[in-house]
Amino acid sequence: MYNNATFVDKEQLKNLTKLDTWLAVYVPDGKQIPEEVVTQCRDLITKIIEKGHYYESQAEVLNMLGREYNQWKKSQR
């Protein structure tokens, strides 16, 4: 398995910021994701933003968070 880095572009940075805000503000209210997991995910997002890149294993976590965010977004309509 390869572990190639993917560099963060402006659109990805915007989406990472959205995910981080969602985790910080909306998720704790719903109690659907344990607080420890939220903290770890926010730490991961911060590290990715600071480094400017992420790896395949981290992409899997981001994709999972993105799916959860999209489901939450649909439920808010």
| Residue boundaries of the structural domains of the chain | 5-75
37 burial level (CB within 10 Å; 0-12, 13-18, 19+): exposed
pLDDT of residue 26: 76
DSSP summary character for residue 4? -
pLDDT band at 76 (very low <50, low <70, confident <90, very high): confident
pTM of the model: 0.86
Q: Tell me the pLDDT of the chain averaged across its residues.
A: 89
Q: How far apart are CA 70 and CA 22, in angstroms?
A: 11
- pLDDT tens digits for 29-61? 656 778 888 899 999 999 999 999 999 999 999
- pLDDT tens digits for 59-68? 999 999 999 9
Going from the C-alpha of 28 to that of each of 1, 13, 32, 38, 54, the distances in angstroms are 35, 22, 8, 8, 25
